[in-house]
A and B are shown apart, each in its own frame.
Chain A
Amino acid sequence: MSIVEANEVEQAAVESALQRFGQEPGPLLVVLHAVQDHLGYIPTTSIPAIAERLNLSRAEVHGVLTFYHHFRTHPQGRRVVQICRAEACQARGGEALEAHAKQCLGVDYHGTTADGGTTLEAIYCMGNCATGPSIRIDGKLHSHVTAARFDKLMATRGTH
């Protein structure tokens, strides 16, 4: 995609989110979710348009965008790995898994591998606390993720 085309895709996504949800009461989070669900991120270039249409200041939109851990302003890798860092997963060996994953991928949290293939994210509990350590890979939840199982999951799903 050329830069011009990419900009058009972004604008269309923002426009569609505003059209669908701009009339909701207190719409900003709903709109931001819609944009991110569509594009995978929220381009900072969309802040002025969102602010104007929702009758907010740019600072307000920026403030919300940066407050919430879920929202991001840059694309992630083709594959996203979210590892649970919370206590119940720690109690089942989560820390060892975290270290293993960081070492295998060669990145820290919020990092993307050099080839742009995989992004590693920390997450604090997915309600899967009896069968941890828990991770999501591209949205799919997995239980009992030991280092060996992590390697297997990455190998079987690894088509980047």
Chain B
Amino acid sequence: MLFKKLIRTIGRYKAQFISMIIMVGLGVGIFLGFNIEWKTLEVNVAKAFEDTGFADYRIVNERGFSEEDLKKIESIDGVDAASRFLSVNVPRKDDEDIVMLTVSENISVSGFKVLEGTPYDPDDAEGLWISERYAKQNGLSVGDTYTMVYKSLEFSGPIRGLVKSGEYMICLVEKAQLMPDHEKNGFVYVSPAYMKAKVGMTFYPQIHVRSDLPKETMIDRVEAALGKSYMIVDKELVTSYAEAHGEMTEGKTMAALLPVIFLAIAILTMITTMHRISISEKTQIGTLKSLGFKDRRILRHYAAYGLFISICGTVLGVVLGLGIGYFFINPNSVMGDYLDMEHWELHMPLWSIAVVIMINVVLVLATLYSVASMMKGTAAEALKPYAPKAMRRMWIEKKKVWKDLSFATKWNIRDILRHKSRSFMTLFGIISCMLILIASFGINDTLNSYIDDFFENSICYKTKIVLDTEQAGDADVAALIDRYEADWTSSMGVQIGENTYAMEIYGLEHEYFRFVKGHGEHIDLPDDGVLICERIAKKEGLKVGDTFTVSVYGTSEKYDLKVADIAKSISESVMMSDTYAGKLGVNYQITELFTNETEIEESPIISSTQTKQALLDTFKSFTELMNVMIVMLVFISVLLGIVVLYNLGIMSYAERYRELATLKVVGFKDRHISRILIDQNLWMTILGVLVGIPAGIGVLKILLVMLASDYELTLTIKWLTYLIATALTFGVSFIVGVMVSRKNKDIDMVEALKVAE
């Protein structure tokens, strides 16, 4: 019998039940979705690294390592495997594509996995193993011949296999590049035998090491083994590792922030709604009690409602969560463009299942709590209808203005204050909606203004020429500078204390490169000090006017530098003028040229060229990743707003049903009554928007720190963003207001006033 009642009750409160299921579904779905996102990355990225022997440390020596060096490293206690390694950017013959020509002596370190074709053979002196992604994009398959140009020689051979490599999981050929371009860039592995056949001796500037040793120990032991200190890069600084883990951290942050809002709203809505339902069921609860049903039996009956909602919600949530997870992490997603890895199966952290179960328990407990308070005391007491708290006079009523308010305004004010939890929930819903909108549009604004401020203001050249530092003599470089009327830069590794940064020396006669700070304000490169980037300033605790010491890698050179200003920079770098470098007597070799020419003739000393447009394009596709997220967040927050407000709206409507009917009887028109209801909605929305804006800015600040501290972004929110977010929030609130208030046409006055409650 009670089961029939359950079904009918659900039918009666259809709208509430559906909106609660959606709320729970959204909460669970977003929780699972975001956790699936980072967990999937974690598992699959780890697998990709494991499969291809991703190195833990890279020992770097611009002058190359000998076979003896390798033996010494291999014999270090705690080193599992080591391999001499070479990776150079080379152009494809008669093409603009740049691929990374790679040799790893010991393929179990920084190697690859063959997806198609024949396995790697270290003695194969002809074949190439080429990036599967690049090959697919360029219509290359196993057996085709591929040709590169390296040191003015043609490196050509049949493709033996299509492969993936952890080393090139994020395949960037250029440090200012943010997104890989799989059509133009890839990597090609050849064997040491191949190199030997082509150029005789291979020059290996790196030794890759697999080892569990901590960094300090590693540094000490390498120094002991080789008798000299070398730059040692641990995997945290390698793009593929750092960025893939950055994505996981982002995912974890989002998973920790966003779902909390939704789950909180779901649980709070559940409590308010179940409270409301049990109020209107109070006499029924009393009746059941007086009929002789035990409290426990009745509680069990009502727990079934909570269980019904949370199970339906959870099912919906799991589907949604998998959907969201897949949406973010699949080979065809923006993430799939970013990460080149083999496996994309979705994974879910085990504990998230426990959390979902806990959410269900909490929801059922919330239901029980609401019902239990309705059946306190004897059956007779339970039979009495719910008596709302007595009205008390409020401070505002003592003010003069109160008297002049219309009755509708007074009624609304009292209604808001009387149903505090409902009003609070409404406000919370609107604030959340506004907050998510502001934060997500704000990310977009911030990124766009970063592009505008930084890229547009700072990069004034048309083409950047990357020099081959082994080939380029000073005279050759000077000739190139003359020929292309170029500016130039030199980059070297330096240490401040334990930390490694880049030091860049600039010769900027034509101002093809400029420095900016804040919102794109231009700073000149001083001749008596250096610019440091915001991140170095923060990490090293440096202010303008401070002096600090850098030591150049692989040398004993040390310089004391004065901070002249703090600038924005893509990489973590110290920037100085050639004049200042000259004063200090720094030894440097020019590594890159900036020019306004677009036609750059091929030359043995040029390793690659890159246009500003190409750079901008990669940044644009990076923002696409953000845009996908933003579109989803906007959609979700609008949906959230509608569901929460609608649920509370019909609750408020049900609570005031008798009062509304009375107003109708007294002679108020439907339109008038609608306006009163919409007015209340409007006030709450205005308040919610006013609170939501600073809250959104706050969340955005946190997000920028947590998600994008690598990019020296300056928080920017455009007026249009405030406008759109406010308009959307008001739109949502207005639509819901109209939806709810239209119901008052259907108020049956006779019916509403017939039974004296």
Query: Do they bind each other?
Result: no
